[in-house]
Amino acid sequence: MSDFLKDFILGLTYSAIGISSALPVVWANFSGTANMTLAPLSAINIVATLGVLVTYTSTFGQYGVRDFFICSLIAFFFHIGRLSVYLEKEDKRFRVLFLSMGFTKREYVTTYLLRRSTKRNIASILICWGIFTMVFVFNRISAGYELSKLSLGILLILLGFTSSLLDRND
């Protein structure tokens, strides 16, 4: 199997594992069955995720069992961050309207938020897949420049978290 195809399939696998584990957590939060806040996780954006992946894969690798769990965890947090930001905006805009029409919070989540977020979920899968594949191919191409990749990853992490904090509208 070619290396690019292996990276392509690994990226899709991590993205699918991340979204399938993030969706129940997000829906439990918005339906009211779990009492937790996802607001701190909204700081995880594309740039920060890219930085974490570049830093991790340049330091530790990408093909071991430990790397599988760490990359799946990175994908989980990426999807949680993207979905929580989007659903929080939708929830603030339409929750009062739906609840005033007699819907319960669970009905509101399943009938409205679930349908509105379908496109966002697909986009999140594709973006995460692209990020993972790009980082894996980048690591293969730039083998031997670990210090440069490490500094690039740290810079991307700082830029990602800084930009998410500056974009906040709270």
In terms of residue numbers, what domain contains 139? Answer: 3-160
Answer yes or no: is 107 within a domain: yes
Structure tokens at 42: 């909204």
Q: In angstroms, rounded to a whole number, what is the distance separating the alpha carbons of residues 1 and 113?
A: 41
**pLDDT at residue 34 greater than cutoff 90:** no
What tens digit of pLDDT does each residue of 101-124 get?
A: 777 777 777 777 777 788 888 999
Q: In angstroms, rounded to a whole number, what is the distance separating the alpha carbons of residues 66 and 70?
A: 6
Structure tokens at 121: 């979920």
Answer yes or no: is 32 within a domain: yes
What is Dmax (Cα atoms) for the chain? 62
Answer yes or no: is 26 within a domain: yes
What tens digit of pLDDT does each residue of 46-73 get?
A: 999 999 999 998 888 777 788 899 999 9
Answer yes or no: is 167 within a domain: no
Answer yes or no: is 169 within a domain: no
Residue 99's pLDDT band, with cuts at 50, 70 and 90, is confident
pTM reported for the whole predicted model: 0.84
Q: Looking at the 3D structure of the chain, how many domains does it have?
A: 1
Answer yes or no: is 101 within a domain: yes
Contact 20, 139 (CB under 8 A): no
Look at 87-96, 118-127, 131-140 and tell me which has the smallest mean pLDDT.
Answer: 87-96
Other Cβ atoms less than 10 A from the Cβ of 130: the count is 13
Other Cβ atoms less than 10 A from the Cβ of 122: the count is 11
Give the three-state DSSP class for 153.
helix
Q: In angstroms, rounded to a whole number, what is the distance separating the alpha carbons of residues 92 and 95?
A: 6
Contact 83, 121 (CB under 8 A): yes
